Amino acid sequence: MDLQARKIQLIQFLALTSSESLVEKMEKLIQKDTTDFWDELSPELQSAIEKSIAQANSGQLTSHDEVMKKYSQWV
């Protein structure tokens, strides 16, 4: 069965169900699947990521080679 047929089958099943708990589970599943991971991050982590992006955009980067030279004795 192809994807389109499976989706139609699910729609028909959902339309005919009388199970409120099943509908609630489907709603939660859909909501979870469409939630942006960014919104689930703490404000502190969002701020740290935004700061890192700003630093990278302004050229404040350390190359991989530089990092490897500095920390090669521990890697």
**29-62 residue pLDDT tens:** 888 777 788 988 999 999 999 999 999 999 999 9
Question: What's the half-sphere exposure (Cβ side, CA atoms, 13 Å) at 34?
Answer: 6
pTM of this structure: 0.47
Averaged pLDDT of the chain: 91
Q: What is the DSSP letter of 1?
A: -
75: pLDDT strictly greater than 80: no
Q: For residues 22 and 16, is the Cβ–Cβ distance under 8 A? A: no
